[in-house]
Amino acid sequence: MRPVEARIFDEGYRRYDGTRRGEAAAVRSLWAHTVQRIMGLRRSARHKVLPFVSVVIAYLPAVAFIGILSLLPADRTRDFVPSYPQYYGFISAAILLFVVFSAPEALCPDRRYRSLSLYLASPLTRDTYLLAKAAAVGTVLTFVTTGPQLLLLVGYVLENHGPHGPQGVLLMFVRILGAGLTMAAFYTAFSLALSSLTDRRGLATGASLIVLAGSQAVTGALVFGFGLPSALLLFNLNLAPYELAVRILGGHRRLLMLPSTSTAVVALVCLIWTVVGAIAVWARYQRLQVTR
């Protein structure tokens, strides 16, 4: 009689003797889970609307400009399509949307539904938990601060709209990455800091909008209304990271809001804002009482 080969596919619950990945894998898993959550993946359709709209706002103009470049003669489009720094003007709304809903979505539910106690009972610590959350928010923000410009770079190069030569392309690639990552880091720290103060997503989103709009209104009134030094505009949280990003991208002087302020000062102020935000969220989570 021929022996029959049989396999049991459903063994049920059993002991696990395989390798266990360490803390880094836990951080990666939480990062991936949080990115999915922010983007509405594996969730109902209504959670996908806002991220989808933001992505469309960020990428659609780039696709349109590349299409225009490919369809119309070069002499008619040369002055029509935006430069890399100018493109921020088209995607600032998408960036704003991502800034105000990403961090609240990443941080608030874990405290509201008290899932944080499950995470802290795992190999994650408060620090590694925050690292994963910050990386997730940063990843999502980078998707809109860097992705559209990279798409533009590919399109412009293919349509011979510049930059020219391998060195020029590489330099612009690095500039786009630098500008996008800088802006993402700035807004990640800012939005996480505000989101750490409440467990309500709506409140955190509202607070982010108010602080962004408030800083713009107050600094604008002080500089343009009372004639105070224009450097005060660096306290405008809507302006400071863009000012730095435009400079990193090598934008023309006329695109700058603070042409008389050195790039080093702008970079230093942005760095201080980023560090202050990061310390604020870190300090908040060190004091947070999760279980007793």
Residues in touch with other proteins (CB under 8 A): 11-16, 18-23, 25-26, 29-30, 33, 42-44, 47, 109-110, 113-115, 117-125, 128, 290-292
Q: CA–CA separation, 73 vs 93, rounded Å?
A: 30
Q: How far is the CB of 278 from other proteins (least distance, A)?
A: 22
Smaller CB separation from other proteins, 126 or 284:
126
Q: How far is the CB of 208 from other proteins (least distance, A)?
A: 21
Q: CA–CA separation, 24 vs 165, rounded Å?
A: 40
Smaller CB separation from other proteins, 222 or 284:
284
Q: CA–CA separation, 258 vs 266, rounded Å?
A: 9
How far is CA 270 from its chain centroid?
15
Q: How far is the CB of 82 from other proteins (least distance, A)?
A: 38
Q: How far is the CB of 188 from other proteins (least distance, A)?
A: 22
Which of 139, 141, 136 is CA-nearest to residue 99? 141
Smaller CB separation from other proteins, 13 or 226:
13
Sign of dihedral through CA atoms 230, 246, 80, 54? negative
CB 153 within 8 A of CB 172: yes
Smaller CB separation from other proteins, 115 or 262:
115
Smaller CB separation from other proteins, 253 or 292:
292
Element (H, E) at 263: helix 263-287
The tokens 């989808």 sit on which residue? 52
Q: How far is the CB of 133 from other proteins (least distance, A)?
A: 13
Sign of dihedral through CA atoms 46, 48, 50, 56? negative
